[in-house]
Amino acid sequence: MSIDIYWRIGTHGDQPSLRRRLVTRGDWSPVVPGSITPGLREGRPDGYSHLDHMADVARSTELSGFVGGLLPSFPFTDDPWAAAASLARETTGYRFMIAFQPGFLHPVQAARMSASLQRATGGRVVYNIISGGGGPAQLWWGDKVGHDDRYARTSEFLDVLKAVWYGGPVTHHGRFYQVDGAGLPERLAGQPFPEVYFSGSSRAAIEAAGRHADYYLSWLEPFPALAAKFDQVREHSAAIGRSPRFAVRIDVLARETEDEAWAEIRRGWRHVDPERLRGPESTGDSVGWLRSSRFIDWPVRTPRELEASPNVWGGFHLLRGGPAFGLVGSYAQVAARLDELIALGVDAFILAGVPHLEEARRIGENVLPLLRGRWPDTAPDTPVPSPETLESPEALESPGTLEAKGSTR
Amino acid sequence: MTPPGRFGGCGEPSPHKRPFRFLLTLPTTGPDATPAPLPEFVTDIRQGRYGPFDTIGEVGRAAEVTGFDGVVAPFAPDAEESLVVVAGLLRHNRWIHGVAGFHPGVGTPVYAAKLSASLQRFTEDRFGWWPVVDLPPATARAHGDFLEGPDRYARADEFLSIAKGVWEHEDYTYEGRFFQVLAGGFQGPLAGRRFPAVHLSGVSADALDLSAKHADVHVFDVTDDLDALIADLGERAAGHGRSVASGLRLSVAAREDEAEAHAVRNVPEHALTGSFEQVAAELRGYADRGVSTFVLEPPPRVEEIYRLGEQLLPLFVREHAHVD
């Protein structure tokens, strides 16, 4: 079984490096000389939009050897459905992994959109099903449903969506959705159902994933914790006769040598607000975010204090928006860590780096060719907090203290 | 009213622009058409390479280069999903607007607005909405919508109010019967785009009231009592301090001369039939009664789009027109 390696397409602009939090690509910052998409020509916007940059990233990523791109969804980003539908016919083999929250679309509508997009792309749609990070962001979206109920809704959504997809007419009167005689028209029927990458670290998420995930997707965590989490998912899935594959979302900063890689981190570190070194704050109910904050002994003073195990660095969120953990090291080291994850049972990666376009090229040329696959003598080697302490009821129920981080991004 | 877009919209027309908008309906409904097969001994390079989106793309392209103002992807149970269709088409064309039909039970208004804000960013504000409220009950239930009667209009009102609310305000709260949002609203580059041009239809008092409050264009049919309805809509809209443009769905069979036009096969009932000048005169007649948007149905073939674009539309360029 081959390993699927995705990249990420930023849906809210991009920085030219991790050295400064300065967004020059897309229009999330003022458009000035040096801005890209839109840029300036003779003092006026040049007519390009952020979508044109996303298209460039998609093409570069495709040429660099990745199978597709994750399009994240947050209140401040462009929308993944809009981007994927717009770019559908600008790439050839590239898959669009669309992040979406089931609560926002009716499953029949989702089925129709997906089927049309499968037809427009020749079957290149992949789902990143996210169930929301709670807190103010969830209310911003107009969604008041609580944490565990959101997973129940996700589960019901996928049940209805699949039933409609695989044949109708479907009549369903559930807790969140009702339909009577639903189905896809002849025109839209018979498309392959998109692969499901399912995100969520809580018990409710893992239970829902057991039923629906083709790939159980996690942020990167120190490897033993990740292995323990995968075991939980395997256990829940086995109990209902399923065996999901595993995927990890990882930021990578790789250079020819280890020193060069850490030098890059240190350059960005100079601009980090010291307040943020005291520890992460959050306002949502994301268990994944809570877990990731606990692998580090906060507060910290230097970058290497965030290295939870060799090359596994928990400070990316300080240098750009997004999750904390990623890999920092030489090309060979990063490739070796990815091989270790493959040995732990990982079947797919969603990699990312800043800037997305150039780093896709770098990783495609220098890291992916070094991968060896499921080689036998790999063992994770660094102790981390045991996952049991993270799954206490207190850890699962701490609304109001966590930042809203709804999904992989 | 808000003009539906930067280019070729129905705001103040420039001297070189038509005072009307012409929209084409896209061929997105029904089963896929299969092209006539070639004899075996003839090389056919098409095998498996082209699909329905190529046909739709061909029509969109023709509308673009022949000077139409936009295209409509209608909502219908047997149709291609309209948002996907329109997003792809607008990406590959510079000028045409794209109007997507959908029913207001598709999802939350916040999400619909969010997706649309991106499409407006990607297309320089060329994306439009056509919410379809008055569906047959069985069709509605098959799409997850169990509301009947006036409630459907109440929900559509909420849907549009919230979508516009988050679009226009940075801190927006609305707790309604059907939808809600707390401290919502777009910020940064998602804010400040033009809200999608809202097209609505229907002749009931509820439908006209909804349009009076929310529509940019209310689309009638040629069999409707146009004069009374346009006047009624105008009064209701004035009650909200607004005005709503009137549109008309119709079919056209136009050729160089009348006899040729009458020989056209498969012309729908009530189609405007005649020479280009005769059809133009009839369209001007509708314009005199207050119609400013024409939605051509059914989906024309590419050769028909070229014919209308080259020979009918030029008759409406203002410097040649008789309407002033």
At B99-153, the pLDDT tens digits run 999 998 899 999 999 999 999 999 999 999 999 999 999 999 999 999 999 999 9
Tens digits of residue pLDDT in A331-365: 999 999 999 999 999 999 999 999 999 999 999 99
Residues written for chain A? 409
Token readout for A343 is 């040995």
- Judging contacts by C-beta atoms under 8 Å, the chain A residues touching residue B162 are 142
- Tell me if chain B has a CB within 8 Å of the CB of A348: no
Largest CA distance in chain A: 64
Per the CB < 8 Å rule, is A89 touching B92? Answer: yes
Q: Give the gap in angstroms from C-alpha A249 to the nearest C-alpha of chain B.
A: 24
- In this complex, do A141 and B110 lie within 8 Å of one another by their Cβ atoms? yes
- pLDDT tens digits for A59-75? 999 999 999 999 999 99
Min Cα distance A50 → chain B (Å) is 7
> Which pLDDT score is estimated for A388?
44
Q: Is there a contact between A140 and B118 if contact means CB atoms under 8 Å apart?
A: no
A74 touches chain B (CB under 8 A): no
pLDDT digits (tens, 9 = 90+) for B203-252: 999 999 999 999 999 999 999 999 999 999 999 999 999 999 999 999 99
| Nearest CB to A187; choose among B31, B162, B187 | B31
- State the best of A86, A130, A139, A175 to mutate against chain B, taking most chain B CBs within 10 Å: A86
Chain B nearest CA to A187, separation (Å)? 5
Rounded-to-integer distance, Cα B151 and Cα B135, Å: 13
Cα separation values, B68 from A388, B95, B199, Å: 64, 9, 17
Question: What b/e sequence results for B249-287 when a residue is b if at least 16 CB atoms lie within 10 Å of its CB, and e otherwise?
Answer: bbbbbbbeeeeebeeeeeeeeebbbbbbebbbebbbebb
B288 touches A at CB < 8 Å:
no
Q: Which residue of A has its CA nearest to B188?
A: A28
The answer to whether B91 contacts A51, with C-beta atoms less than 8 Å apart, is yes
- Helix H, strand E, coil C: the string for A47-94 is CCCHHHHHHHHHHHHHHCCCCEEEECCCCCCCCHHHHHHHHHHHCCCC
- The alpha-carbon gap from B22 to the nearest alpha carbon of chain A, in Å, equals 24
Contact A113 B121 (CB under 8 A): no
pLDDT of residue A57: 96
Pairing outcome for strands B291-296 and B21-25: parallel
ipTM metric: 0.92
Q: How far is B313 from chain A (nearest CA, A)?
A: 28
Rounded to a whole number of angstroms, the distance from the CA of B291 to the nearest CA of chain A is: 32
Strands (E), A273-370: 307-309, 312-313, 326-330, 346-352
Per-residue confidence band for A385, with pLDDT thresholds at 50, 70 and 90: very low
pLDDT number for residue B12? 45
User: Which A-chain residues 171-200 have CB contacts (< 8 A) with chain B?
Assistant: 177-183, 185-188
| Domain extent listing, chain A | 4-396
Q: Does the structure show a pLDDT above 70 at B33?
A: yes
In words, the CATH class of domain A4-396 is: alpha beta
B83 touches chain A (CB under 8 A): yes
